[in-house]
Structure 1
Amino acid sequence: MDIKHIYIPSVYTNCFLLADESSGAAAVIDPGDDVTDSVLRLCTDNGWQLRCVFLTHGHFDHIGGVSALQRALPDLPVYLHPGDANCSLPMQNTAGLHNVKLWRDGDVVPLGALQVEVLSTPGHTKGSVCLRCQDALFTGDTLFAGECGRTDLHGGSYEEMMASLKRLAELEGDLRVFPGHEGFSTLEQERRGNYYMRQATGAGL
């Protein structure tokens, strides 16, 4: 497994390229603006083939580059939770996405020899998910380093966010955490020092 990070300064979003080195299959996670050139160059340089787009949720700063990628690769499928699908709000306009594959909690999507597990984690949006692959956890806007995502936007819920953070805290092992914004972390670091996760688990401060 290889993970490449593409920072998108226009929307302050972390985009990731996840690849199975044995087969060359790759997926781009949360292309929040046009990253087509960067993604295709990384794929070419590493001998990978871009197979799909994985979206942790439907906000504009995570889906803004999907159309450009699909212009370059028209058959590219896009994976999104139904809770955020077919929405036409300005901040969450997923209705215009094409070739959408709906995934749900517990689904496992193969990427070459890799297995990408979908964890439904509502709270930031109804359709927010985290993606677990081996020792990596892509948390979108559910879990940040020391923080959690906003819950005051459309579809947000503080109660659901607390339940989602509790679920993440209870995952086995010390996974590497790759959030949708700002710096990276580990699950154990967040269990120990993240106020919101500690509140969610009843651990206090």
Structure 2
Amino acid sequence: MIIEKVVDRFMDENTYILGDEKTKKCAVIDPGGSIIDIFNIIKQHGLTVEYIILTHGHGDHICRVPEIKSKTNAKIVAHVNEEEVLIDRNKNLSAQLPGPLVEFDADEYVQEGDVIELGSLKLKVIHTPGHTKGGMCIKVGEHIFTGDTLFAGSIGRTDFYGGDYKQMMKSLRKLAKYDDNAVIYPGHGPTSTIGVEKRMNPYMQQI
């Protein structure tokens, strides 16, 4: 498995490139970082972009989607409850952020428990509302891409459109059930593990 990260210097947003070493197929998760850096990593590993996967629809996580889509024709995947955010520049906050205005529809909408096959990798969808209605995490083996649900030491904001603190707490309880050794890859900040967050994250301690 290949996991590479591109960090946007303005929003400190993490874009991840998840690749299958066997088939060289990859997914770009939450593309908000430098398009040059993203494609340099893809080229470096000799990958083909099969999916653009969105943990949620905020502008800092989706601003590079149209360009990647036009270059690769990869399938855009998001949770079914995120459609209204993706197609509205005000709800996805791109109208308020310094990057490009973005409004688009996903090619495929998924739900809790769905599995996305990426070469030999199986990506499990975990619906984690709280930051947005259609927020989701992606679990691949013992790796979980948590978007803006769970950060190292914190959580995503719940005061944007579709945010809900009570839903966020339910989502954290769902994530807390996974193995303590599971590595989390947040939408902002450094990686961590479920175990570390259960011990050290004040929000996880409340559940």
Q: TM-score, normalised by structure 1?
A: 0.91
Counterpart code for 1:111: L
Contact conserved, 2:59 with 2:92, CA < 8 A, in 1? yes
Which residue is 1:169 aligned to?
Answer: 176
Separation in 1 of the partners of 2:205 and 2:105?
39
Q: Is the 8 A contact 1:124 1:141 kept in 2?
A: yes
Deviation at 1:169, TM superposition (A): 0.4
Moved over 6 A (4+): none
Residues in 2 aligned to 1:46 and 1:32: alpha-carbon distance in whole angstroms: 20
TM-score by length of 2: 0.90
List alignment gaps of at least 5 residues for structure 2. 95-101
CA deviation after TM superposition for structure 1 residue 11, in Å: 2.2
TM-aligned CA deviation for residue 44 of structure 1: 1.8
- How many residues are paired up? 198
Please, what is the CA RMSD of the aligned residues? 1.6
Matched, 1:133 2:140: yes
**CA contact 2:112–2:125 (8 Å) conserved in 1:** yes
CA distance in 1, matches of 2:43, 2:190: 27
* Structure 2 counterpart of 1:141, one-letter code: D
Q: Is 2:99 the partner of 1:112? A: no
Answering whether residue 90 of structure 2 is matched by residue 90 of structure 1, we say yes
- Inter-partner Cα distance in structure 2 for 1:52 and 1:36: 15
Secondary structure at the aligned position of 1:152 is classed as: coil
Shift of 1:135: 1.4
Q: Which amino acid aligns with 2:75?
A: P
Q: Describe the superposition over 1:131-170 as per-residue Cα deviations: whole angstroms up to 9, x where unpaired.
A: 1001111000000001011111110111000000011001
Any idea what SS the aligned residue of 2:159 has? Answer: coil
The separation in 1 between residues aligned to 2:91 and 2:185, in whole angstroms, is 23
- 1:86 CA displacement: 3.3
The residue aligned with 1:191 is: 198
Secondary structure in structure 2 of the residue aligned to 1:110: strand
User: Corresponding residue for 1:2?
Assistant: 2
Counterpart Cα distance in 2 of 1:121 and 1:172: 17
Deviation at 1:172, TM superposition (A): 3.0
